[in-house]
Amino acid sequence: MRSGILKLGLLLLLAFGWTPGQAMFLFKTIDWVDLIPEEDLRLLESIPEVDHESLSDDAFAEDSIGASPGLRPSEKLTEQLSQQMASAIEEAASGQPGKGGERTWKDALVSTSVRAEFDNRPVRLPGYVVPLSYNDKQHVTEFFLVPYFGACIHVPPPPPNQIIYVSYPKGFTLPDLYTPFWVQGTMKIATKEHELGVSSYSMINVALTEYTEENAEESPSSD
């Protein structure tokens, strides 16, 4: 009986493309900041604070659109990125390079650098869906996973190392852009270019489910 269970488990692993070695640490829940290389992370910590008191009502509303109220709080830097990304990236895209070619936080905001140790790693993280393509039933079959609502649509895209491209051939129904999801799968280092943005990571063998506080510590369903 035990032998049969072990064989079934191995077949399931192979069916999803996971090796027995990967199964030993399925699935590691990570934060978005974990995907940022150490040098870029250090540069991002120097992003100047936005003076909200000096903004008009319209500007304040636009600056706040990237906030992620649906996701549980993470590190201070994650919150800083989600609140200031839009204005900072816009400034970075139009700004001048650092003095003497020295990299600054503006370079980090458009960086394609990745953490190679995540290649082929089974991971799990929450995020928002930016649809890229649909099937005939209007189910989402390709999307960018991003750390905050509005990224790539209402505000400029995050750095490429903060965007994950996901191909989901069987498709799923996206209730709305406000709905966060738990997504788990095997992370890959791969660049995907689209008119909405560029990603430095992708994910395969994906399972996803809507995010709730109740399922924060559970594994997503593959349905």
Going by C-alpha positions, the residue among 80, 223, 61 that lies closest to residue 155 is: 61
Mean of all residue pLDDT scores within the chain: 74
Overall fold of domain 30-223:
OB fold (Dihydrolipoamide Acetyltransferase, E2P) (2.40.50)
Structure confidence at residue 100 (pLDDT): 54
Q: Averaged over 54-66, what is the pLDDT?
A: 48
168 vs 221 pLDDT, higher one: 168
Domain spans, the chain: 30-223
Give residue-wise pLDDT tens across range 76-86.
444 455 555 55
pLDDT of 218 higher than 80? no
pLDDT of 36 higher than 90? yes
Rounded distance between C-alpha atoms, residue 186 and residue 27, angstroms: 9
Report DSSP letters for 202-213, one per residue: EEEEEEEEE--S
Contacts of 123 (CB under 8 A, 6+ apart): 27, 28, 29, 30, 184, 185, 186, 187, 203
Structure confidence at residue 76 (pLDDT): 44
* CA 93 to the chain's CA centroid: 20
8-state DSSP, 147: S
Q: What is the pTM of this model?
A: 0.69
Rounded distance between C-alpha atoms, residue 147 and residue 2, angstroms: 42
pLDDT of 87 higher than 70? no
Give residue-wise pLDDT tens across range 2-32.
444 334 333 334 444 444 444 444 789 999 9
Contacts of 17 (CB under 8 A, 6+ apart): 186, 204, 205
Rounded distance between C-alpha atoms, residue 29 and residue 75, angstroms: 14
- Work out the percent of the chain whose per-residue pLDDT is above 70: 61
Angle (CA) 174-152-136 rounded to 5° is: 35
